[in-house]
Every structure is written in C-alpha cells, then in structure tokens.
Structure 1
C-alpha cells in the first residue's frame, strides 16, 4: 500500500502480469491480467498486488503521482500492532496471535519458491539477498 500516491503500471513486455487491488471496506476486489502495451491504475492508499504469472521475464514501468509514495507491507504492519490489541480485534487468544506472528513469511511474495520451481529456476531465500519484512539477513 502506498499512503501518499496512486500507482500506474505500464507493461513493456509480459504475457501475464497480474495487478489487483481491494477497495475500502465493503468495496470490490479488482484484478486484471495485463500483457504488453496495457496499463493498470491503483488508487492511493489501497491494498494491492502485482506478480508475473508467466514464466518469461516481465518488464513493466511503475510510476507514482508523488515523489515519496511511501510503502506499507500490510502483513508486517499488522503484526507491529501490540498483541493485546490484535487479540481483541481478531477475537482470538494471545497464543494464536503469537503463533500467527511467527508464521509471517520473510517475503511479501508467498509462493515464490513454487513459482521459481515451475519455471525451472532455483529458489533463493529472499532474506539472503536483502532485509525483508521483520527478518534480518
């Protein structure tokens, strides 16, 4: 999510670039599969995602209407909330909150190992490449 900017994706080269977002509470979920020459718009502040559903390289241009769009990785931000508040908001016990927090993946791209395997590529732990989420290299 980008709290200060809308985002525009223009596909330079891809056959299956999936882009989607969820509108505010009670709104729609919008998801489109884009190919070369197409674009998609994500309104400011909405949770969104994009991924290459094909095995060939995808090249796209992502632009923002603010010089500092900011970024909030939702699952990481959720578990930055204190456990007591999460327990009340989710109506679960403290042990489950702690268990869920430890299950947060180190990458905002769950399933990346399966995607790489499907495309005949070797899986690399993203935390070996950089700091990601709540996990240190």
Structure 2
C-alpha cells in the first residue's frame, strides 16, 4: 500500500513538472497558412488540419523566404493625429513565419510631445530601445501598491515593461522620436486603457464608471462621447 502511494505521489510530481514549462517545438517552424485558417473559421474544423496557435501550418515544402520577411520598418509612421504617435506592429499578422516562435516587434514614432497612451500587452513583456529623441516612459505596478516606475530615456537607452502592466511612452522633446519595441509573443495584443474604459462597444453603464472613478455621471458621459483613436496599425 505504501509503495503504491509513493508511486502515485511521484507520478503526480512528474506531471506537475511537465505542466510547469512550455514543451519544446517538435518542428523547425509552423508558418501560418492564413487562407486555410480563415476558411476553418467559416466552414468548421473537421475538414482541415489541427490549428497551432490559431493557425494551420503551411506545408513546409511550400515555405519560402517571403514567409519570414517584412519590409518597410525604416519608414516613419504617420503621427498626424490627436496622440501624436504611431505604432507599426510587426507580428504574426505581418510575418506568417512568426507563428509559434513567441516574438514580435514594433516601431513607434512620436511627434514632438507625442504620446503612446497608457496600455497593456496581455500576452507579452516589452523591451523598448530608443533610436532617436528623448522619451519619458513608465509602468504602474499592480494593486495595492500601484507604484509608478519611470525613467527618461535617450537614444541608445533600453527599458523593460513587464507583461500585463499598464505602461506609456511620452516624447518630452521638441523633435521627433523613434523607438523599437521587442515583445515576447507572436501576437502580444494591446489594451489601451482609455479606449477600453470609455470607448467600449456597447458602452459601460455610466453609473458603474461614475462610481468606479468617483465622479459625476456628466463627466463620464462627456468622456464616453469622445472619439478614442487607435494609434496601432
């Protein structure tokens, strides 16, 4: 009886260790076959191969260099908007070969005093490198401390934003600024705080938000009536 119990315990421990880390890839790559993946969503799963991270793997014999290539990150994004910033994301939707590789990147352009507003990446840690200009950056720790960790960055400086935490970047200079961000997900996702809270569709009840922010409903109604733009493309 004791030996049988010991075996059960050891098996349970072994299982927990296995589940505690990501499995190693069993193939060189899984280039996203977007056409087949979209067809699955329309017709059902039973007609096609298994999805990997939401995509069908392209036949390896049909893979070519274009599946791992993106051109144009040298071109400035359009910052002529209310935020004065533009995020050019290079994720699995831009490079099919990123599927299953767990990385992506983005170019962020800032006009003078431009802002990449408070936002989170629910699936990724971000490493930001300033290429040009000066940025004030920061993130806020979780409850109950809600500490603001911030730093002024110049060209060549690097800063890390932990996964899931609200963070921002602000160009405090008189000239344009450019940064490159690396992210630990093929599709990090972006939740811009103001857009999510005040620009949701349908709108969150103004009474709920008034109580949450401890302000009059008229303030909430005004904020919900604004156009909350998205600077990501």
Q: TM-score range by the shorter chain?
A: 0.5 to 0.7
Name the CA distance, whole Å, in 2 between partners of 1:2 and 1:99. 27
Unaligned runs of 5+ in 2: 1-119
Q: Specify the alignment match of 1:83 in structure 2.
A: 206
Structure 1 ranges of 4+ moved more than 4 A: none
* Residue aligning to 1:22: 140
Cα pair distance change 1:94/1:59, threshold 3 Å: closer
What TM-score do the two structures reach when normalised by structure 1?
0.67
Q: Distance in 1 between matches of 2:218 and 2:176?
A: 42
Q: Which residues in structure 2 correspond to 1:37-116 (within 5 Å)?
A: 37-79=156-198, 80=200, 81-102=204-225, 104=226, 106=228
2:154 corresponding residue in structure 1 = 35
Which structure has the higher relative contact order (CA within 8 Å, separation 6+)?
1
- Closer, same or farther: CA 89–56 of 1 in aligned 2, 3 Å: closer
Aligned residues: 106
* Distance in 1 (alpha carbons) for counterparts of 2:121 and 2:166: 8
The SS at the match of 1:5 is coil
TM-score, L = length of structure 2: 0.41
Provide closer, same or farther for how the CA distance between residues 36 and 70 of structure 1 changes in structure 2, counting only shifts above 3 A.
Answer: same
Distance in 2 (alpha carbons) for counterparts of 1:21 and 1:35:
17
